[in-house]
């Protein structure tokens, strides 16, 4: 009987440890790392990113982008980098509220060619305000097998939103790397 109890405990431990971590686990994982504060040149927002990362601001990818920040780690042994991207943008669908913008982006993500799996999505309160997230897995030639967390937050003007994205390659330190990135994004603060 004692053997059966130990066997059941081992099964529970191994089945729980093999599960993927959730956004909540990354957000609450105690991890310490050296940080540097970045204030967007327009004083629109600030964020703490890992120290010694390269960053570029302003950063724009398309015509709907108002401003942004692109930050990345040094390359790992396979040449892949972790990334933090902050974009303030105007909705291309003229969405008037955060939920409708989230629903539009959800359709875009589901149809993206490099997304292999949607791990989780929905609302979150890690920014202490209404926000939504997508947790996906992707495969690309430029960053290998990666996991991506996208967050959508209201800007202070109707139809203007912030998209905060982090991505890190799947390595042996993946869970710690992801926790560092989520902890960095939690420092995001809108200044205007």
pLDDT band of 50, cuts 50, 70, 90: very high
Cis peptide before 58 (omega within 30 of 0): yes
Q: Cβ(52)–Cβ(35) under 8 Å?
A: no
* Domains in the chain, number: 1
Q: Cβ(38)–Cβ(52) under 8 Å?
A: no
* Residue 33: pLDDT over 70: yes
* CA 149 distance to own-chain centroid: 3
CATH of the domain at 118: 3.40.1000.10
CA distances from residue 33 to 50, 51, 52, 148, 173 in whole angstroms, order as listed? 7, 8, 11, 20, 14
Q: Average pLDDT, whole number, for the chain?
A: 85
Range of the domain at 126: 2-190
Counting residues of the chain whose pLDDT is more than 90, the rounded percentage is 52
* Residue 114: pLDDT over 80: no
What is the 3-state composition of the chain as percent helix, strand, coil, each rounded to the nearest 5? 25, 40, 40
Q: Which residue has the tokens 């800007």?
A: 155
Average pLDDT for 25-41: 91
Average pLDDT for 157-182: 92
Q: How many CB atoms lie within 10 A of CB 175?
A: 17
How crowded is the C-beta side of 125, counted as CA atoms within 13 Å? 1
For 8-12, 79-83, 178-182, which range has the lowest pLDDT when averaged over its residues? 8-12
pLDDT tens string 129-143? 999 999 998 876 656
Could you tell me whether strands 54-56 and 65-72 are parallel, antiparallel, or unpaired per DSSP bridges?
antiparallel
Average pLDDT for 71-91: 93
pLDDT band of 178, cuts 50, 70, 90: very high
Average pLDDT for 37-51: 93
pLDDT tens string 58-70? 899 888 999 999 9
CA distances from residue 162 to 33, 92, 102, 111 in whole angstroms, order as listed? 25, 13, 11, 21
The pTM of the full predicted model, rounded to 2 decimals, is: 0.83
Spatial CA neighbour of 47 closest among 132, 127, 105, 141 = 127
What pLDDT is stored for residue 7 in this prediction? 36
Helix, strand or coil for residue 176? Answer: helix
What pLDDT is stored for residue 6 in this prediction? 37
Average pLDDT for 82-107: 92
Name beta bridge partners: 153. Answer: 131, 162
């Amino acid at each position: 009987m004692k053997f059966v109890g130990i066997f059941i405990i081992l099964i529970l431990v191994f089945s729980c440890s093999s599960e993927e971590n959730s956004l909540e686990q990354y957000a609450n994982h105690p991890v310490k790392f050296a940080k540097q504060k970045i204030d967007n040149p327009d004083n629109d927002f600030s964020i703490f990113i890992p120290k010694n990362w390269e960053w570029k601001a302003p950063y724009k990818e398309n015509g709907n982008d108002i401003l942004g920040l692109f930050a990345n780690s040094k390359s790992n042994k396979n040449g892949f980098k972790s990334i933090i991207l902050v974009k303030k943008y105007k909705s291309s669908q003229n969405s008037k509220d955060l939920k409708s913008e989230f629903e539009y982006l959800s359709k875009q993500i589901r149809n993206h060619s490099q997304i292999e799996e949607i791990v989780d999505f929905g609302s979150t309160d890690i920014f202490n305000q209404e926000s939504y997230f997508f947790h996906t897995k992707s495969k690309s030639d430029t960053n290998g097998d990666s996991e991506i967390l996208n967050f959508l937050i209201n800007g202070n003007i109707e139809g203007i939103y912030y998209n905060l994205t982090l991505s890190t390659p799947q390595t042996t330190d993946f869970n710690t790397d992801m926790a560092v990135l989520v902890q960095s994004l939690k420092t995001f603060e809108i200044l205007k």
